[in-house]
Amino acid sequence: MSSPPPQTSPVNTNINGSAGKAAPAADPRRAKLEADKRAKRLRRQVGQAIADYQMIEGGDRVMVCLSGGKDSYTMLDMLLALREAAPVDFELFAVNLDQKQPGFPEHVLPEYLRERGVPFHILEQDTYSVVQRVLPEGKTQCGLCSRLRRGALYRYAHENGYNKIALGHHLDDIVETLFLNLFHGGRMAAMPPKLKSNDGRNVVIRPLAYCRQADTQAYSEEQGFPIIPCTLCGSQPNLQRVTIRRMLQDWDRTQPDRVYKIFRAIQHVAPSQLADRELFDFAGLRVDGEAGEADPWLDAPEPDTGPAPGVIPLRPV
C-alpha cells in the first residue's frame, strides 16, 4: 500500500506555467542525484500511464505535438527513451505548428530536432492573426487558439497516416481542467489520458498524465531544452486557469497529497453516488433482493491509500 506523498520538491513554480529553475543545491553531488531520480521517476510514470491506458501499441505511428514548451520537450524525451526499451516497435514523428506569432524563433525547433535525429515537420498556419482579429482586446484567447491549433494538428495527422497524437498535458493540467469545468462550466469533466476525437479519425494520448508539473519544470531546466515562450496565452495573467493553478500550488505547500487524491478520484468514479441520470439509471432502481452500492452516509469510507495507482509522489520515500 502506498503512503501519502511528502512535501514536494522546492521548485520555483511560475504561475504562467513557464519553466522554473530548480532550487540551488549546496552539494552538486546531491543535485545530480536528485536530477537522476527525477528522470527515472518521469520515465516510470510515463511508462506506467502508457501501459495502464494502452496508449501505444505495436505498429503505431505516433505524432508528437511539440510546442517548444517544457512539457512537450519532456514528453518527447521520455518517449524517445522508452522506445529504446519498449517491447513493441512504434514510430515517433514530431510536429510543430508555427502560428506566426511575432518574434517566433523559427530556427530553434528544427535545429534541436535535427540534432536529436528526430524526423519532424513544421506546420505553418497563421492562427495568431485570426485570434487577434476575431477576439476583442482583453478577451480570453485560449479557447479559440486551442480549437484552431487542434484542428490543424488533427487534420495533418489524419492526412499523413498518424494514428496516435501525443499531447504534453500532465497531471496538474488534468486536475486544473476538472476545476475549470466545475467552477465555470457546471459539469464534471477533465482531460482523459486517452480519447477518440469527435470525428473518430484520431486517437489522442497524454503520456504525461501521471507526471507533476514541478517535475517537468525541473527536468526541462536540468536538460537545458531551448524553451520557446508563448506570447499569445502567456501574456494573459488573469486567465481562470492561472487562478486554479495558484490554488493547486497553495495545496501543494499546505496539503501536498491533496492533488494526488483529486486525481485518484477522477480514476475512481462512482456513478450511483452522483446525480447524472444519463450516467446511472436512478429511475430503474427497484428492491430486487440484490445488494446495492455502499451509501457514504451509512458506510464508513475505506482508509486513505495514498496517491492514485501509477502515480508516484514527487519525492518518494
**How many domains, in total, are found in the chain?**
1
SS3 state at 314:
coil
Any long-range contacts for 298-306 (C-beta under 8 Å, 24+ apart)? 304/4, 304/261, 305/1, 305/2, 306/1, 306/2, 306/3, 306/4, 306/5, 306/257, 306/260
pLDDT digits (tens, 9 = 90+) for 142-198: 665 677 778 889 999 999 999 999 999 999 999 999 999 999 999 999 999 999 988
Cell of 98: 508555427
Cell of 56: 501505444
**317 belongs to a structural domain:** no
SS3 state at 94:
strand
**300 belongs to a structural domain:** no
**260 belongs to a structural domain:** yes
Q: Please report, for the domain that includes residue 225, its CATH number.
A: 3.40.50.620
Q: Which residues span the domain enclosing 253?
A: 45-267
**36 belongs to a structural domain:** no
Among all chains, which residue has been given the C-alpha cell 522508452?
A: 82
d(CA 309, CA 315): 16
**29 belongs to a structural domain:** no
**159 belongs to a structural domain:** yes
Q: Longest Cα pair distance anywhere in the chain, in angstroms?
A: 69
pLDDT digits (tens, 9 = 90+) for 198-257: 888 899 999 999 999 999 999 999 999 999 986 555 455 557 888 999 999 999 999 999
Give the pLDDT confidence score for residue 234 in this predicted structure: 47
Q: Region 266-278: what's the mean pLDDT?
A: 95
Residue from 293, 245, 249, 250 nearest 269 by CA: 293
